[in-house]
Each structure stands twice: as C-alpha cells, then as structure tokens.
Amino acid sequence: MQDILLVSGTRPEIIKIAPLYHALKAHTRANVQWLHTGQHGEMAQQILACFDIVPDIVLERRGSSLADFSIGCREQLEEVMLSRSWSLVVVQGDTESAFLGALAGFYHRVPVAHIEAGLRTYNPDRPFPEEGIRQMIGRVARFHFPPTPRAREALLKENIADKHITMSGNTVVDAQQWVMNNRGIRRRAEGRGHMLVTVHRRENWGNDVEEICHAIADIATRHPELEVLFPVHLNPVIQKPVRNILGHVANVKLTAPMDYLDMQQALADSWLVLTDSGGLQEEAPTFGVPLLVLRDETERPEAIEAGCARLVGTRRETIVEQVEALWSDADAYRAMQRAGNPFGDGKSCEYIVAALRKGLSYTPHNQAPDFA
Ligand SMILES: CC(=O)N[C@@H]1[C@@H](OP(=O)(O)OP(=O)(O)OC[C@H]2O[C@@H](n3ccc(=O)[nH]c3=O)[C@H](O)[C@@H]2O)O[C@H](CO)[C@@H](O)[C@@H]1O
C-alpha cells in the first residue's frame, strides 16, 4: 500500500488540500495521512472540522517565534519521515510548513508534489517570505501543479521539465464545490447584498490599513443602505486601526474571523468584495462576485486579466472612486460578474490524482501501484 503524507499548517493550506484528501481517499487505495504542523492553531481546527477531516498526525508547536516553530517542526517531521516508507509528500502554496514538508521529502528522497506551484512576483520582498518559499519548493518538488497557464509558463522558464508539470487549476474551487455540495452553500441574499471586506497582509500593515479603513468609512457614510461586513483578523496590528476608525460607523459590521463555511456564505451573499487576501481573489469569481484587490501588485493577475477583479491599491480616494464607479455603472458591474473563474473548474483534484497515478507508478519502490 502506498503511504501518502499531506502536510498542512495554515488556514489556506487546509482549505486547498482538503478536497485532494477526499479525492485520494475516494479514488485510490493509497493510505492517506494528514499531518498538521500546528502553525495555525485553533483556526486550523475549525477549518479541518468544516471538511470532516481529523488529522492523523499533529505536531506540537514549539515556541512562538518562527525560528522556534521551524526547528520543532523540522525535528518532528524527521521522526514522521523515518516512521514508514512514504511514497509521496504533498505540500501546498508557500508557507513555512509547506517548505519544511518539501524539505523533509527531499532529504528522504521521497517525491514531493507541490499544489499551487508557479505563482511568482519575482520580487523576494513582496510578498515576503512567500515568494522565496514558493521558489525554493519549486526547486525540490517532483510533481508541480500550477493552477493557470501563466504559472505553468513560469515553471517552464525555470527549467522544470514539462513532464513534471500538470496544469490543474486551483483546488480552492474544488473546496468550494465540496461545501456547496456537502454543506448547502448558495446565495441567499435578496437584492444587492453586502460589501465584504478583509485585510491582513503584512504589506498593508500601518498606514495602508488606515487608508483602507477611512475609505470604507467614506463609502459606508455615503451609502447608509449598504451593509459592510468586515471579519477582522485577530492580529492587533489590524484590530486596532479597524476598531478605531470603523468601530462607530452604523452600517459597518465588524466580526471575528469567520469559519470557512460562514465565509463562503458571506461571499455568496456579497455585492462586492474588497480584500488583500489571495484566497478570496480565487474564490469570489465562483459566485460571480466582483472584487477589488487592496494591493499594488498581485501574483494572481489572472483575475484582473479575466475582468473579475481590479487592482486598486490602498489609497483612500482611489478605493472610494472605484467602489462608486461600480455602484453607479450597472454594465461595468455585470461585466465583472460574468467574467467567470480563471482559477479552476472544480476538477483540479481529478487532474492531480490522474497525474500522480501516472507519475508514481514509475518510482522504483512502487512496483505495484495502489492507485486503482
Ligand atoms: C502571498 C499570498 O497571496 N499568500 C497567500 C496567503 O493566503 P490568503 O491571503 O489567501 O490568506 P487568507 O485570506 O488568510 O485565507 C484565505 C482563505 O481563508 C478563508 N477565510 C478568510 C477569512 C475568514 O475570516 N475566514 C475564512 O474562512 C477564505 O475564504 C480563503 O479561503 O497566505 C498564505 C499563507 O498563510 C499563502 O499560502 C497564500 O498563498
């Protein structure tokens, strides 16, 4: 029996690996083991529960600094790697957990599969440290699953052999389909719906968060009939300015971070999304909800090119102008709504399982593949 190790650490990783876990369990005879590194704690448990996943291995988070977390995680991963003869390690994205999972596979000569491969800004400072981590995982992975043609091109330019690359779309869309099918998520709002806002990225800490909040206050004041829903990240760097600037605006509802199902429901019920989140850029088009990206650049330009999102940056006046433009121009709004989702068709896991089945059957210690 082939033993496959799925490594997760943060909220977005769990969301994007969850549908693959279910697909591998349903369509192969492999022994699929879910490992959680503990990088995100309580928030991770919530998301795992949404997808009916109980991790097989949970590492103990040692220390609060990234260095301490890394050292502890590396040590414990070493024990896990030695505990059996793994056939494959699967990592997703660009976190420390993904990097350590990939490194563990690499050192033990176990093939590494990288989901959401090939995202690039080629600016190691933005996003930091993700851009560097993505590139490093790309160097050690055997199977690369870029979500889009652009991501595939980036990998080819980095001299990764075509035969090791399978363009799969983003599994985030599979995750959405899973909750639509299994949890009944669908649009329930009547009329326009609310404006959903999230901000958490490091690049926006400080003055940019304040500018964004002032813009939201301006919009909410001009349109008292528009409800603004803002799940506020727990980081005090975000909490403080958001509560100071928006805490008393009547039609702005500040909430705790939402669990994944509530977030998908909130997304489905939105008129417009304002965010610096990567995941939401990929998710909003599934529900046909236009999105404004509160950043100066994005490693997901596909949404901008497809027309379902606009890059607006963090200047107060520009944000207000862009929201007003969509408020008053029904045609422009509809065009964004109808652009479709450039990140995937909900079949990414099917493509990934097929590619792994083919690829793994050639590795020497897997003479009799268990992929049925
Ligand atoms: C540079 C970059 O782009 N990096 C990305 C970034 O990920 P991100 O920006 O997508 O992260 P978030 O916005 O935190 O998560 C999004 C997911 O969470 C759900 N969500 C959100 C708020 C909430 O209240 N409840 C929820 O359920 C939401 O629907 C969505 O699915 O960092 C990760 C490393 O941490 C990286 O791997 C990832 O490339």
Q: How far apart are CA 292 and CA 312, in angstroms?
A: 6
Catalytic residue among 202, 214, 316, 357: 202
pTM of the predicted model as reported, rounded to 2 decimal places: 0.93
Indicate the angle between helix axes 260-268 and 171-183, nearest 10 degrees: 90
pLDDT band at 370 (very low <50, low <70, confident <90, very high): low
Same domain, 144 and 66: yes
**Between the CA atoms of 173, 174, 176 and 179, what dihedral angle is there, to the nearest 10 degrees?**
180
Model confidence over 214-255: pLDDT tens digits?
999 999 999 999 999 999 998 999 999 999 999 999 999 999
* CB-facing half-sphere around the CA of 139: CA atoms within 13 A: 8
Same domain, 333 and 349: no
Number of domains in the chain: 2
3-state DSSP assignment of residue 7: strand
Same domain, 230 and 265: yes
**Is it the case that residue 319 has pLDDT exceeding 80?**
yes
- The first and second tokens of residue 104, run together, are 């563990």
Is there a domain that residue 149 lies in?
Answer: yes
Q: How far apart are CA 311 and CA 299, in angstroms?
A: 11
Average pLDDT over residues 54-75: 95
3-state DSSP assignment of residue 156: helix
Same domain, 326 and 241: yes
Q: How far apart are CA 18 and CA 27, in angstroms?
A: 14
Does residue 129 have a cis peptide bond before it, meaning omega lies within 30 degrees of 0?
yes
Same domain, 100 and 123: yes
Q: Say if residues 97 and 57 touch (Cβ distance below 8 Å).
A: no
Asked whether 263 lines ligand 1 (CB < 6 A), one says yes
- Across all residues in the chain, what is the average pLDDT? 94
Same domain, 120 and 241: no
Same domain, 36 and 86: yes
**Is it the case that residue 363 has pLDDT exceeding 50?**
no
Ligand 1 atom closest to 264 (CA): 29
**Between the CA atoms of 312, 317, 320 and 324, what dihedral angle is there, to the nearest 10 degrees?**
-100
Same domain, 276 and 164: no
Is there a domain that residue 180 lies in?
Answer: no
Q: How far apart are CA 169 and CA 176, in angstroms?
A: 13
3-state DSSP assignment of residue 291: strand
Same domain, 247 and 129: no
pLDDT at position 266 = 98
Average pLDDT over residues 258-264: 95
**Is it the case that residue 94 has pLDDT exceeding 90?**
yes
Is there a domain that residue 176 lies in?
Answer: no
User: Is 116 annotated in the active site?
Assistant: yes
The CATH number of whichever domain residue 53 belongs to comes to 3.40.50.2000
User: Is 194 annotated in the active site?
Assistant: no
Q: How far apart are CA 331 and CA 207, in angstroms?
A: 34
**Is it the case that residue 372 has pLDDT exceeding 60?**
no
3-state DSSP assignment of residue 363: coil
Q: Say if residues 87 and 67 touch (Cβ distance below 8 Å).
A: no
pLDDT at position 337 = 95
Determine what percent of the chain is predicted with pLDDT higher than 70.
Answer: 97
Model confidence over 160-195: pLDDT tens digits?
999 999 999 999 999 999 999 999 999 999 999 999
Ligand 1 atom closest to 281 (CA): 10
Same domain, 93 and 193: no
- The first and second tokens of residue 234, run together, are 């727990």
Is there a domain that residue 179 lies in?
Answer: no
Same domain, 161 and 245: no
- The first and second tokens of residue 60, run together, are 């103990």
**Is it the case that residue 340 has pLDDT exceeding 60?**
yes
Same domain, 250 and 154: no
User: 299 vs 280, which has greater pLDDT?
Assistant: 280
Quote the ligand 1 centre to 225 CA distance (angstroms).
29
Is there a domain that residue 153 lies in?
Answer: yes
pLDDT at position 203 = 85
Is there a domain that residue 328 lies in?
Answer: yes
pLDDT at position 289 = 98
User: Is 188 annotated in the active site?
Assistant: no
Task: Please work out, in degrees rounded to the nearest 5, the angle formed at the alpha carbon of residue 71 by the alpha carbons of 70 and 77.
Answer: 85
**Is it the case that residue 362 has pLDDT exceeding 70?**
no
38: left (phi over 0), alpha (psi -120 to 50) or beta: left
Is there a domain that residue 16 lies in?
Answer: yes
Model confidence over 110-155: pLDDT tens digits?
999 999 999 999 999 888 899 999 999 999 999 999 999 999 999 9
Q: How far apart are CA 221 and CA 310, in angstroms?
A: 23
Ligand 1 atom closest to 47 (CA): 27
Is there a domain that residue 367 lies in?
Answer: no
Reference 354, options 20, 90, 2, 53; nearest CA is 20
pLDDT at position 371 = 55
Domain hosting 43: range is 3-170+345-360
Quote the ligand 1 centre to 109 CA distance (angstroms).
30
Catalytic residue among 96, 130, 211, 283: 130
Query: Residue 370 burial by CB count (10 A; 0-12/13-18/19+): exposed, middle or buried?
Result: middle
